[in-house]
Structure 1
């Protein structure tokens, strides 16, 4: 045998041995599969003293009510909830976790944990919810080119992090509930783990991942086309699907023959209307109003609130244009009240728009208008919404069939809404002239502000919208969740409450 062939033989043999060794290790260390026997159990010793004192939030009250004679509570339903994003920015998935836990199920809530973003205190307090943080990819793209270069590395990093968290850092569960988007690589990893662990996969459709990618790359980009194929291929074999709108259910059926159950967003219990005294008490704590000649009890000014992620699918320039127009009109129509606008949230375009606001202020284009940005705790955000006169939604919908949960939060506090309404699913949430108004430009939004805030109207239009929002606030998350998701996961509201 000649030298080159001997070398090739030795290299091939080495590669084969290493490859077979790795495959053997992989097979020997596969995650354990789910089994109903024995059922998961919890006893009194699993609760800390603090959790025993916090009966309702920790789940100890449920344990006491439903435990067996031997002091154990059998957990028949266990769910991994997967959020490839900040858990604190995913209220719907947190509500899923709380509903499952409140009905006696066990939850592993898996996602990013940003210390600066509050997770619902009830989620953190509940004994049946285990928060599993996953590491964040350490590099962020600064341009389209860097996005394309970093994307493969980020995907590989996320695959490893998700696989490890789902397969080894958490026990085998009966169900896996995945937030989509992001779909890459979440759906791929979820399918592998569900196959290996005999877990049933449920996809909760908030939007389409490929439509969001199209905002960055354009709808005809090859990666967008691949993303669209991938999303449908890895999702349609799931055991069940939820979607946030009826319109999204229709598109899923038409595009990928996926039968999804509509599960509309509804507010959680911490979002509620405030009394006038509660409203005034909260507003007195806001530093933005220090030194301002506002009488918090009269209505000579109006507070509007918008929550935004400061991303391209929420065009803040529309609201800024409306406020500049309003300030200009108010110079000649003094009957219009002053406006205080609070913009909550964090995101990549925040610094840009803050500089634009400062520029307009210096140029005198926002006279008698206060625009402030804020990042609030869960409780303070709920109180801010309950204290406002009008909520503003700038969500433009990349797919046309999703809905902004911020509007649901606003309705939860009885706050009427004006929002970008130029997409198909908007009427599923907002009834024009009943609980909100839709607009398609800054000029239209300015017109709405004038109509609702004009003094000669004596607030009749705004009160009508307020009454509609208060009626909407009566529709709560658990009322929507139990007959859809609760039924799927095997809960009976009559016995597990």
Structure 2
């Protein structure tokens, strides 16, 4: 018995020494904590000659206006904006970064960089924004079994890479703004760094991580239940919260007693309605439209656009089934226009749906319907939205309380929308009959297309476009400044 107690004592002592050494090393090696005596600053040397020529876009004009006599501009606030995902596919977090920088804040924008995905050109150009890449997990799988086996390795990889990025690759900041989801391991790493650096954590809720995981594993899976507990536990300690809808704010309050500020998505300034001349010029550049009459009135065709990440929360079979039904009806109602459908985006289910489209074409079920996929630059995507006749959103919402930002982008370009409407938050974005139409089945979408494109109902489509144009009048900064701008103590420029 004495020997066994001695063994327990030795093991316990060894574990205690290891843990204390690890904690001590962590504290000593972590860069200095945030201090008002060490503010972030911008200097003349931070700008190139090109930056000085494009002074508004690069922030040089703001620097010139606010610098001190010795050429130093002290940032009004410093912030790490963290995206455990591809920054290029996170427009809202880019908008956050640009708004903070435009109003004099210093930003570290941290996340994955996909070389095939364009960042917002204004974000790349602004010298108050430092883009910090983190390495993505090198293995991906569609197999559920392999997904479960690789999950611990992926979390460990993400923990280490994110921890290094926010704790060592960047200076300490006053604020950290984290996109959620993904919550694992983002919220844990953020809480650790913020605690030791005296940084104030803000969580920007786009959706719930556990609800997205449930799409893959099922709502009652142990991993989903654990994820839900983890998300609530580590979110409660944040200084503040933003949420994309009022409905999400209510759920956060009811579920975890979290008081979130609603911060709705609004379009960025590069998304603008186009003139008739600009629309025709862009349509002329599209290869699938070669030979078509590009007159904007009395055309025999219509252009539909949909944007997707090709993930399970967007069921594209709904759109394909609706197009098949539309093509069948058009054989008897010949005055219905033929359709050109452009689908933009990349994602895991893209090849599956491309194969389905090819089979439908071979079976002559999509006569007079041309479907193309595209990956466009920021400028060309904005032009496509501004030139289309109708936008389609198939976002079904895993939680019921998030909203698709693609619809906001479409409104920014003055494009009316038809979208899946069978979830709680949809009315916060679209008013049926005023700026868009809702549907909850393929049959419903087909009926909307027939109604809006029918010869007798063109006035309805024109009315929806007028409603979309009204929506684009309120921009991102109009939403950001009264909420996030006030929290971060930013001042609007006169």
Please, what TM-score do these two structures have when normalized by structure 1? 0.95
Distance of aligned partners of 1:8 and 1:204 in 2 relative to their CA distance in 1, 3 Å threshold: closer
Equivalent positions of 1:98-497 (< 5 A) are: 98-290=98-290, 292-298=291-297, 299-457=299-457, 459-493=458-492, 496=493
Task: State the secondary structure of the residue aligned to 1:210.
Answer: helix
Q: Is the 8 A contact 2:316 2:394 kept in 1?
A: yes
- Per-residue displacement from partner, 1:50-84 (whole Å, max 9, x unpaired)? 21111111000111111123322111300100000
- Per-residue displacement from partner, 1:302-333 (whole Å, max 9, x unpaired)? 00000011111100000000000000000111
Q: Is the 8 A contact 1:31 1:196 kept in 2?
A: no
Q: Please, what is the CA RMSD of the aligned residues?
A: 1.9
How far apart, in 1, do the equivalents of 2:208 and 2:7 lie? 51
Distance of aligned partners of 1:475 and 1:23 in 2 relative to their CA distance in 1, 3 Å threshold: closer
How far apart, in 1, do the equivalents of 2:24 and 2:176 lie? 27
How far apart, in 2, do the equivalents of 1:418 and 1:381 lie? 18
How far apart, in 1, do the equivalents of 2:211 and 2:142 lie? 21
How far apart, in 2, do the equivalents of 1:445 and 1:178 lie? 36
1:210, CA displacement in angstroms? 0.5
1:220, CA displacement in angstroms? 0.9
Distance of aligned partners of 1:385 and 1:10 in 2 relative to their CA distance in 1, 3 Å threshold: same
1:7, CA displacement in angstroms? 10
Distance of aligned partners of 1:70 and 1:144 in 2 relative to their CA distance in 1, 3 Å threshold: same
How far apart, in 2, do the equivalents of 1:100 and 1:11 lie? 51
1:285, CA displacement in angstroms? 1.2
How far apart, in 1, do the equivalents of 2:184 and 2:276 lie? 47
Distance of aligned partners of 1:211 and 1:4 in 2 relative to their CA distance in 1, 3 Å threshold: closer
Q: Is the 8 A contact 1:88 1:119 kept in 2?
A: yes
1:18, CA displacement in angstroms? 5.8
Unaligned runs of 5+ in 2: none
How far apart, in 2, do the equivalents of 1:244 and 1:9 lie? 52
Give the equivalent residue in structure 1 for 2:83.
Answer: 83
How far apart, in 2, do the equivalents of 1:171 and 1:332 lie? 66
1:455, CA displacement in angstroms? 1.0
- Per-residue displacement from partner, 1:440-475 (whole Å, max 9, x unpaired)? 001000000011001133x10000100000000101
How far apart, in 2, do the equivalents of 1:23 and 1:68 lie? 41
Matched, 1:58 2:58: yes
Distance of aligned partners of 1:288 and 1:196 in 2 relative to their CA distance in 1, 3 Å threshold: same
How far apart, in 1, do the equivalents of 2:362 and 2:14 lie? 71
How far apart, in 1, do the equivalents of 2:442 and 2:15 lie? 63
Distance of aligned partners of 1:196 and 1:379 in 2 relative to their CA distance in 1, 3 Å threshold: same
Task: State the secondary structure of the residue aligned to 2:365.
Answer: coil
1:236, CA displacement in angstroms? 1.2
1:44, CA displacement in angstroms? 1.5
Q: Is the 8 A contact 2:111 2:133 kept in 1?
A: yes
1:43, CA displacement in angstroms? 2.0
